[in-house]
Chains A and B, each alone.
Chain A
């Protein structure tokens, strides 16, 4: 079987044993979505390009991805976000915990092959789910996620009581969790 038809776990294994072709294949699968996130968080194409490169090099170098511990997609998105926030020099304790999570979460198998069509379908699902949140819930979640703002910074920026921001964020996330249930519970 050709490497490009293999699961993420197998491709990653090949990468770890020094096969750079594997990196090209993973880029082919996830490069766009990493770039998409980087572009939103850094707001400029050159920096987004640099960050995308940094993320894929980190993937090769550190060998820190363990397919038994979550999907490649979630791993790369989390890595992109934490590196983007590092660039903003706004490292916060909670994101260090996100990284810690990759060492502590229970095993899940990454056996499904994620192709472009599957990723597109997932993107549509997430867009659809997000559109069902109230505009306030969406706004506070996006400010926290992309701009790395704390709830008190968001409260200040939006001129909103702190408790309200906290409630919007929490309710928004729980609603997404409910709407995207099958995406996070399926074993990919």
Chain B
């Protein structure tokens, strides 16, 4: 029977145990303690989990975009060789061959054909599973987009909305869109098209103009097609404003616009 150590001593012992820093005698002692006090297993497990989380502190990376499909391909190839689908016959045959017994040529032929059919089936399977994976990804994205549109439409149906029309300045004349002020939900919805994507470190910001002052409303970036659909909270000061501007700003947040005005809008309704 091992003496039960004091709690601090015990913690240190378990920590070193998990870190693999104990002598064989100390390991034996801990193992005995764990046997006589199984509740200590929980602490050992938590120390091990703590240690296992260490790599989360590493900087985020971007694995190659192709890695996922490579893994899925390898997995589906693997599937055709997995222990569950592996038939006993080929293994038996290999054993026979290695024992120096040749099987009948006539009998072997269909098996080769079967093998060929199997590998065709496997490659069809790879194609199908990649295809269904991509489809699945598309469905997930489409559903998210649909629910955003649904929310936006629900907002548009509310009473006493105000609408502002927005037009690009000479910098991006093709840009256009609308801003809807929804006082009942205290939000504003901004939708734009033909916006130019910005280089890294820059962002678009929306400002309400009231009494000659510009009030910050929110910031956004367009999608790769230059489209925007965003919702911002409605600031009380914004309720008075009858026009808005959109500027290009550095990413760090500033309380006032510093960059070029690329779109302007004024009240329609």
Contact = CB atoms under 8 A, between A and B. Distances in A.
**Contact count band on B:** 35 or more
A101 B110 CA distance: 48
A53 B11 contact: no
A37 B60 CA distance: 10
Given A32-B61, A104-B41, A184 B71 contact: no
Interface in A41-61: 45, 48-49, 52-53, 56-57, 60-61
Interface residues of A, number: 73
Given A31-B63, A106-B41, A61 B78 contact: yes
Contact of B53 (A2, A40, A184): A184
A39 B18 CA distance: 24
A170 interface: yes
Contacts of A95: 20
A185 interface: yes
Given A106-B42, A177-B50, A170 B71 contact: no
Contacts of A40: 55, 58
A110 to B, nearest CB: 12
B117 interface: no
B55 A94 contact: no
Nearest to A76: B52
A62 to B, nearest CB: 10
B72 A94 contact: no
A63 B78 CA distance: 14
B54 interface: yes
B116 interface: no
Contact of B79 (A18, A56, A185): A18
Interface of A: 2-4, 18, 20-21, 23-24, 27-28, 31-33, 35-37, 39-40, 45, 48-49, 52-53, 56-57, 60-61, 70-71, 73-74, 77-78, 80-81, 92-95, 97-98, 101, 104-106, 108, 119-120, 122-123, 125-127, 129-130, 141-142, 144-146, 150-151, 166, 169-170, 173-174, 176-177, 180, 183-185
Given A36-B55, A53-B71, A80-B55, 12 more contacts: A21-B129, A21-B136, A36-B58, A39-B58, A52-B67, A56-B75, A101-B48, A144-B19, A150-B20, A177-B15, A183-B53, A184-B50
Interface of B: 11-12, 15-16, 18-21, 41-42, 44-64, 67-68, 70-72, 74-76, 78-79, 82, 129, 132-133, 136-137, 139-140
